Amino acid sequence: MGILVNKDSKVIVQGMTGREGASHSRAMKEFGTQVVAGVTPGKGGTDFEGWPVFNSVAEAKAATGANVSIIFVPPAGAADAVLEAAHAGIPLIVLITEGVPTIDMMKAVQEVKALDAASRAGGGQGIRLIGGNCPGLVTNGEAKVGIMPNRIYEKPGRIGLISRSGTLTYEAAKLLNDAGLGTSTTVGIGGDPVIGTTFADVLPMFEADPDTDAVIVIGEIGGADEEAAAEYIAAHMKKPVVAFISGRSAPAGKRMGHAGAIIMGNVGTPESKLAAFGAANVPVADTMPQIIDLVKQALKL
């Protein structure tokens, strides 16, 4: 049920023994995720709170059959950690780390895409990177590979959620939860300029997912990912999509926290995003709670 991760996903944590890695490994386990091992170079052969720790992703994969890796490695080594997982053949890699240099991400994303294409050409399932600077992903009731608070996912449902912003993902998931709608899968794609997976990459998965009835896209100023998503929706989506754009009052030229949240020239303005969604007949909520009303209208609930 849901997309990308489920109760059968076997997850390793790169950087498990660090502060963030440790606390989120515990929270993922509490959620019910099958966390099977940690990877910390130099600590191979040790045990961390009951989990075996390996020196490399390849060793961890060979020993556990892991098919997902979540990365909590600091920025300087984060892109390298992605490449290690990709070359070890982990089909789903989730990079949580914030502040990875953009050039490192350019190189890593390109290499992951080449490995993905080679894997698919050889009949494999491909390799996908989610993030960096993202909260991860959750298939409600099954598995969380991320850092979202567990309790906003009390009620599994049939709404797919894709977001560039971590906190707004939480906000939307909670609103859906409280409205009794719940989520199928939540995918936080991250707010950086160069990320592994975009809205337009995730939309076809939700379109094909029998457990998702409608999709919410939470975008923000900067870049043209929302415009690309709108184009894809207009051309290919049969399921209803509802959007929200954050930072509509942000001034041009100022970077709003996220490295990607900046209006440069005429690119990345809220007007351009609203116009694109308008042209694709995607309703855009003015406020977060209004998202729920629009979803209900779209599904005639």
Partner 1 sequence: MKLHEYQGKDILRQFGVNVQDGRVAQTPDEVRQIARDYGQAVVVKAQVHVGGRGKAGGVKFSPDADKAFENGEKILGMDIKGLTVNKVLVTKAVDIDAGTEYYVGMIVDRNEQSFTLMASAEGGMEIEEVAAATPEKIIKHRVDPVTGLRPYEAREVAIKAGFKGNLNKIADMMVKMSEAAFARDAVLVEINPLFVGPDGVPLALDTKFEIDDNAMYRHKDLADWRELEAEHPLEIEASKYGFAYVKLDHGNVGVLGNGAGIVMTSLDVVNRAGAKPANFLDIGGGAKADIVYNAIKLVSKDSDVRAIFINIFGGITRADEVAKGVIQALKDGILTKPVRMRIAGTAEDEAKALLAEVNSPLIQMYSTMFEAADEAAKEANASEAK
CA–CA separation, 1 vs 141, rounded Å? 9
Residue type, 27: A
Q: Is residue 52 a contact partner of residue 37, using CB atoms and an 8 Å limit? A: yes
- Give 248's contacts (C-beta < 8 A, 6+ positions apart): 221, 270
* Cα dihedral 112/117/122/123 (nearest 10): 100
CA distance between the termini of the chain: 22
Q: Which of 62, 63, 103, 275 binds partner 1 (CB under 8 A)?
A: 103
For 231-254, the DSSP string reads HHHHHH--S-EEEEEE-TTPPTT-
Residue positions annotated with a catalytic role: 258
Question: Which tokens is 17 given?
Answer: 């023994």
CA–CA separation, 155 vs 169, rounded Å? 15
Q: Does 111 contact partner 1 by CB under 8 A?
A: yes
Q: Does 83 contact partner 1 by CB under 8 A?
A: no
Q: Which stretch binds partner 1 (CB under 8 A): 50-58, 59-67, 104-112, 233-241?
A: 104-112
Q: Which stretch binds partner 1 (CB under 8 A): 39-47, 136-144, 243-251, 275-283?
A: 243-251
Q: Point out the annotated binding site.
A: 17-20, 43, 96-98, 170
Q: Which of 18, 126, 156, 193 binds partner 1 (CB under 8 A)?
A: 193
Residue found by looking up tokens 């415009």 in the block:
227
Burial (CB count <10 Å: 0-12, 13-18, 19+), residue 265: exposed
Q: Does 257 contact partner 1 by CB under 8 A?
A: yes
Q: Does 225 contact partner 1 by CB under 8 A?
A: yes
Q: Which stretch binds partner 1 (CB under 8 A): 54-62, 136-144, 147-155, 204-212?
A: 147-155
Provide φ and ψ at 143, rounded to 5°: -155, 145
Q: Does 26 contact partner 1 by CB under 8 A?
A: no
| Number of chain positions touching partner 1 (CB under 8 A) | 58
Q: Does 277 contact partner 1 by CB under 8 A?
A: no
Q: Does 166 contact partner 1 by CB under 8 A?
A: yes
Burial (CB count <10 Å: 0-12, 13-18, 19+), residue 147: buried
Q: Does 117 contact partner 1 by CB under 8 A?
A: no
Q: Does 91 contact partner 1 by CB under 8 A?
A: no
Q: Which stretch binds partner 1 (CB under 8 A): 34-42, 106-114, 205-213, 235-243?
A: 106-114
Q: Which of 1, 58, 288, 299 binds partner 1 (CB under 8 A)?
A: 288
Q: Point out the annotated binding site for substrate.
A: 170
Q: Does 238 contact partner 1 by CB under 8 A?
A: no
Q: Does 77 contact partner 1 by CB under 8 A?
A: no
Q: Is residue 90 a contact partner of residue 68, using CB atoms and an 8 Å limit? A: yes
Q: Which of 189, 260, 276, 285 binds partner 1 (CB under 8 A)?
A: 260
Residues that bind partner 1 (CB under 8 A): 23, 75-76, 99-104, 106-107, 109-111, 147-149, 163-171, 174, 191, 193-194, 218, 220-225, 228, 246-251, 254-261, 265-266, 286-289
